[in-house]
Amino acid sequence: MREVQSADIFLKTYGKDYKELLLAVQDVCRRVQQTTGADVIDSIYTRGESSGEENIFKEPGKIANKVRQKGQTPGTKAYLALNDIVGLTVVVKYPNSIPSVISAIRKGLRSKKIAVGLPEEHTNRGGYFATHVVCSGVFSAETLNCEIQLKSILHDAWSAKMHDLTYKPTGVLDPKLNALMASVANTIESLEQQSILIRDMIRSNWNVEEKTRRIARHELFESMLAYGADVWRADAGPKLNALRQQIEDASAQIAKEPKDGKTVSKLTAAVERCCHDPNELRFAWMMAGRIASLRTSPDLVRFFTTQVDAWLSSAAGLLQAGKIAEKEIGSVPLLYYVIGDIDRAVEYAEYLVADPEFSALSKRTKAINNFNRATFLVEREYHHPTQNSAIKAKLRAEIEEILAHSDMAVMPNAESSILDTRGLLRITFAQSQDEVRAGIEDCVRARTLSPPEERTVSDAYADLNLRLGWRRYFELEGK
């Protein structure tokens, strides 16, 4: 009883300093979570948060018992040597990201003069998989320790599921149960390793498509919208140019930060304020698109759509008054495409062609939007095939009709793009390997027809469509 009381007195004496240490470690871990991106750290929690209690400290009885198990005399010196009086769990999405997370935490804590020890691997200790690191800092002339446990999502779930069953009962767990738990944990570890492999395979496919999207973004902003060009800078003015430069300077951070991260939140709020000013909206909606296009997933579509709708509500009047160019309206569907929202790309392309509000758009702009819509429909159908055969046949007929009537007279230099889309159309709706091969040949020939100034984009799309074509070819071979 006296041992437990001594541990309790120890916590009352040093509790404030331990809490300060824990908060410093927690702050750095959360900043690492923000800066490493949404696909690295899933969650961070303290001992109290995991149990639904306010207490962040190890229980006095467990403190005293742990010291006794080490063969030491319970007391202040022995308690200070423990690593887990306070602790934190960092849950990662994939276990192979743990080393880089530890490195980032170590770097962040260095500025707070808190040292991080070497990682200790806990590999299937009674069904427990985790990596532990000890953070040590001097508070009130004493060195205190805080332990970070790093686990994958699946192992954390398994620990949470079994915690009460394995820790609450008195006595020793049956060895057969320990072996069973270890077997389940090994199965979970196997699943984790397979998840890494599957993730890497998926990302390798993403990288090919991302290359195309990066080129499309560049072409759209640098040429079609003259985003950042001399004329854009002159018309936008100093305030908007300064904000545009902030976005460009933070492009790498925007790409990897969670959408509610500090940098993304700050820049989206600044752009939104500009969009509320009718005199700045013409340029601000493009900046909204630029931020959304820098993301690796279309998670800022709602933010972008708010600004687009505000822009389009005033754009028709500005066009009729001759104050803006048609491309400032016609590029809206393309921006949705490069952001990764094909559904809205399809909808807005149709809206600009069919809505009477935009009747002032030229025949050429409408033809381009109609052709782009057909391209979007083909790509969407490839990735999300229609199951109903009658609807699928109707969709193909609609796309073929658009391509058949794509007017080369009002769409100069479009021969390559039309042939490339026709090739992907054949690949997407193919029922035989011969049809796929014909589509692949169209995509290859399209590359040779593109004008020099469009060669970079056409090559990227040809590479992408060829990859999709061969994937479809071998899929049909398997059937």
Mean local confidence (pLDDT), 48-55 = 67
Detail the DSSP E strand segments found in 108-174. Answer: 115-116, 120-122, 130-139, 142-152
Give Cα 363 distance to the centre of its chain: 38
| pLDDT beyond 70 at 412 | no
| pLDDT beyond 80 at 253 | yes
| pLDDT beyond 80 at 184 | no
What does the longest C-alpha to C-alpha distance in the chain come to? 94
Mean local confidence (pLDDT), 278-290 = 94
Q: Where are the domains of the chain?
A: 2-197, 207-478
Q: What's the pLDDT band for 2 if we cut at 50, 70, 90?
A: confident
Radius of gyration of the chain (CA): 30
Tokens standing for 469?
């074509």
Q: How far apart are CA 436 and CA 26, in angstroms?
A: 54
pLDDT, tens only, 188-224: 778 787 777 766 665 656 556 666 767 777 777 777 7
Judge whether 17 and 142 are in contact, CB under 8 Å: yes
Q: Which residues pair with 91 in a beta bridge?
A: 43, 151
- For the chain, the residue count is 479
Look at the block and give the residue holding tokens 């491309």: 327
Judge whether 33 and 25 are in contact, CB under 8 Å: no
Mean local confidence (pLDDT), 33-48 = 85
Q: How far apart are CA 372 and CA 376, in angstroms?
A: 6
CATH of 207-478, one of 3.30.160, 2.60.40, 1.10.10, 1.25.40: 1.25.40
| pLDDT beyond 80 at 319 | yes
Q: Which pTM does this prediction carry?
A: 0.64
Mean local confidence (pLDDT), 388-395 = 95
Q: Is 207-478 the same fold as 2-197?
A: no
Q: How far apart are CA 283 and CA 306, in angstroms?
A: 14
Per-residue pLDDT, 281:
95
| Range of lowest pLDDT (4-8, 68-72, 190-194, 295-299) | 190-194
Mean local confidence (pLDDT), 34-40 = 81
pLDDT, tens only, 62-79: 888 888 888 888 889 999
Tokens standing for 303?
């933010």
| pLDDT beyond 80 at 31 | yes
Q: What's the pLDDT band for 169 if we cut at 50, 70, 90?
A: very low
Nearest to 349 by CA among 326, 321, 376, 319: 376
% of residues, the chain, pLDDT over 70 = 90
pLDDT, tens only, 73-128: 888 999 999 999 999 999 999 888 899 999 999 999 999 999 999 999 988 766 67
pLDDT, tens only, 434-461: 999 999 999 999 888 888 877 777 777 7
Mean local confidence (pLDDT), 175-190 = 73
| pLDDT beyond 60 at 250 | yes
Running DSSP on this structure, what letter comes out for residue 58? P
More confident residue, 252 or 218: 252
| pLDDT beyond 70 at 399 | yes
Q: How far apart are CA 60 and CA 3, in angstroms?
A: 9
Q: How far apart are CA 227 and CA 244, in angstroms?
A: 9
Mean local confidence (pLDDT), 281-288 = 95
Q: How far apart are CA 341 and CA 382, in angstroms?
A: 15
Mean pLDDT over all residues of the chain? 86
Per-residue pLDDT, 116:
95
Could you tell me which CATH number the domain at 2-197 has? Answer: 3.30.460.10
